[in-house]
Chains A and B, each alone.
Chain A
Amino acid sequence: MILAGVLLLLALVLPGLPLGQWRAFLLDAAQFAFLISGLALAWDLLARTGQLSLAHGAFFGLGAYAAALSAPALGTIPALLVGGAIAALSSLLLGLATLRLQGMYFAIATLAFSEVMRTLVLKSQFTGGSIGLPVQPAFAGAYPLGGYYLAVAVLIICTVVSLLLSRSRLNYAMAATRQGEAVARVLGVSVVRVKLVTFMISAFLAGLAGGVYAMKTLFLSPYDAFGLGRAVEALVIPIFGGLYTTTGPLLGGLIIVSLETWLRLRIGEGYLVVYGVILVLTILFLPKGLMSLFARRKGASHA
Chain B
Amino acid sequence: MELLLQTLINGILAAGIYALVASGLALAVGVVGIVNFAHGEFSMIGAFVSYLLFVSAGIDPIISLGLAAMVLFLVGAITYYGLIRPVLAAPELNQMLLTFGISVALQNIALLVFGADTRVVSTSYQGSTIALGSISFGVPPFAAFVLSVGLLGALYWFLGRTRLGFAVRAVAQNRLAPGLLGIETQQIYLLAFGLSAALAGVAGVMLSVMLYASPTVGFAYTLKAFAIIVMAGLGNLRGVVPAAIILALAEAFVSTYVPGGGGWVEAVFFLVIFIALTWRSWRVP
Are the CB atoms of B274 and A116 closer together than 8 Å? yes
- Given A104-B35, A112-B227, A119-B267, does the pair A232, B100 have CB atoms closer than 8 Å? yes
Question: Which residues on A sit within 8 Å (CB–CB) of B104?
Answer: 272-273, 275-276, 279
- Given A240-B97, A273-B109, does the pair A104, B234 have CB atoms closer than 8 Å? yes
Q: Which of B92, B95, B274, B282 contacts A100 (CB 8 A)?
A: B282
Complex CA–CA separation, A294 to B263 (angstroms): 49
- Given A108-B226, A279-B101, does the pair A269, B112 have CB atoms closer than 8 Å? yes
Complex CA–CA separation, A120 to B97 (angstroms): 30
CB distance from B191 to the nearest CB of A (A): 23
Contacting B at CB under 8 A, from A43-101, are 47, 52, 97-101
Contacting B at CB under 8 A, from A102-119, are 103-105, 108-109, 111-113, 115-116, 119
Question: Which residues on B sit within 8 Å (CB–CB) of A104?
Answer: 29, 35, 230, 234
Question: Which residues on B sit within 8 Å (CB–CB) of A97?
Answer: 274, 278
CB distance from A34 to the nearest CB of B (A): 22
Interface size on A, residues (CB 8 A): 43
CB distance from A26 to the nearest CB of B (A): 25
A285's closest neighbor in chain B, by CB? B86
B263's closest neighbor in chain A, by CB? A123
Interface membership of B9, Cβ < 8 A: no
Question: Which residues on B sit within 8 Å (CB–CB) of A272?
Answer: 104-105, 107-108, 111
- Given A111-B227, A270-B108, does the pair A283, B101 have CB atoms closer than 8 Å? yes
Are the CB atoms of B264 and A276 closer together than 8 Å? no
Are the CB atoms of A109 and B98 closer together than 8 Å? no
Complex CA–CA separation, A272 to B98 (angstroms): 15
Are the CB atoms of A109 and B264 closer together than 8 Å? no
Are the CB atoms of B277 and A108 closer together than 8 Å? yes
- Given A100-B282, A109-B274, A270-B112, does the pair A283, B264 have CB atoms closer than 8 Å? no
Are the CB atoms of B98 and A279 closer together than 8 Å? yes
Question: Which residues on B sit within 8 Å (CB–CB) of A271?
Answer: 108
Interface membership of A280, Cβ < 8 A: yes
Interface size on B, residues (CB 8 A): 44
Question: Which residues on B sit within 8 Å (CB–CB) of A287?
Answer: 87, 90, 94
- Given A273-B109, A276-B102, A276-B108, does the pair A112, B97 have CB atoms closer than 8 Å? no
CB distance from A224 to the nearest CB of B (A): 16
Task: Report whether over half of chain B's contact residues are helix, strand or loop; otherwise say mixed.
Answer: helix
Interface membership of B93, Cβ < 8 A: yes
- Given A112-B270, A115-B270, does the pair A273, B277 have CB atoms closer than 8 Å? no
Are the CB atoms of B278 and A116 closer together than 8 Å? no
Interface membership of A277, Cβ < 8 A: yes
Question: Which residues on B sit within 8 Å (CB–CB) of A47?
Answer: 93
- Given A104-B230, A116-B267, A287-B94, does the pair A273, B274 have CB atoms closer than 8 Å? no
Complex CA–CA separation, A97 to B277 (angstroms): 10
Q: Which of B35, B100, B234, B263 contacts A119 (CB 8 A)?
A: B263
Question: Which residues on B sit within 8 Å (CB–CB) of A133?
Answer: none
- Given A98-B278, A270-B112, A280-B105, does the pair A122, B98 have CB atoms closer than 8 Å? no
Question: Which residues on A sit within 8 Å (CB–CB) of B7?
Answer: none
Interface membership of B17, Cβ < 8 A: no
Interface membership of A243, Cβ < 8 A: yes
CB distance from A269 to the nearest CB of B (A): 7
Complex CA–CA separation, A232 to B104 (angstroms): 12
Question: Which residues on B sit within 8 Å (CB–CB) of A105?
Answer: 230, 234, 277, 281
- Given A115-B267, A272-B104, A287-B87, does the pair A108, B97 have CB atoms closer than 8 Å? no
- Given A236-B97, A287-B90, does the pair A115, B266 have CB atoms closer than 8 Å? yes
What are the nearest 10 A-B pairs in CB distance? A279-B101, A276-B105, A276-B104, A119-B267, A112-B270, A100-B281, A280-B101, A112-B274, A272-B108, A270-B112
Q: A105-B234, A111-B226, A271-B108 are in contact. List 4 more A-B contacts (CB 8 A).
A: A111-B227, A273-B105, A273-B109, A280-B98
23 contacts between A and B (CB under 8 A): A99-B281, A100-B281, A101-B277, A104-B234, A109-B278, A111-B226, A111-B270, A112-B271, A123-B263, A235-B93, A235-B96, A269-B111, A269-B112, A270-B108, A276-B101, A276-B107, A280-B83, A280-B98, A280-B105, A283-B97, A284-B86, A287-B90, A287-B94
